[in-house]
């Protein structure tokens, strides 16, 4: 299945991680480009990360001991700053 990350938007993939042994509790995707980008979901393997970085997305990996909310807020701020530059 695929869904689209709209241009200059941010999404969380926590509900799309289906592999029990996946080392991250969540993934934040940031599309700073001016074009929408299709992403493959659900996330089954770590190779997915590099495949989607190659598409131009910022892929932020949230580990068990990290605060999702802090990382999301930081990514959102960086996205807003990138929007101002465009």
Calpha distance 81→18 (Å, rounded): 32
Q: Is the sign of the CA dihedral 7, 14, 77, 53 positive or negative? A: negative
The DSSP string of 33-58 is: SSS-EEEE-SB-STHHHHHHHTTT-E
pLDDT along the chain (86 residues), means of 10: 94 80 90 95 86 96 94 97 86
- In the prediction, which pLDDT does 35 show? 96
**Segments of 1-86 assigned E as strands:** 2-5, 9-12, 26-31, 37-40, 58-62
What are the structural domain ranges in the chain? 2-85
pTM of the model: 0.90
At residue 14, the pLDDT reads 82
Residue 66 pLDDT? 95
User: What is the pLDDT, as a whole number, of residue 44?
Assistant: 76
């Amino acid at each position: 299945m695929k869904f689209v990350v709209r241009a200059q938007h941010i999404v969380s993939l926590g509900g799309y991680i289906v592999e029990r042994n996946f080392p991250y509790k969540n993934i934040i995707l940031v599309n700073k480009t001016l074009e929408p980008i299709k992403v493959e979901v659900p996330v089954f393997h770590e190779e997915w990360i590099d495949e989607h970085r190659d598409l131009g997305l910022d892929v932020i990996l949230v580990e068990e001991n990290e605060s999702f909310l802090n990382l999301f807020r930081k990514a959102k701020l960086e996205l807003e700053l990138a929007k101002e530059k465009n």
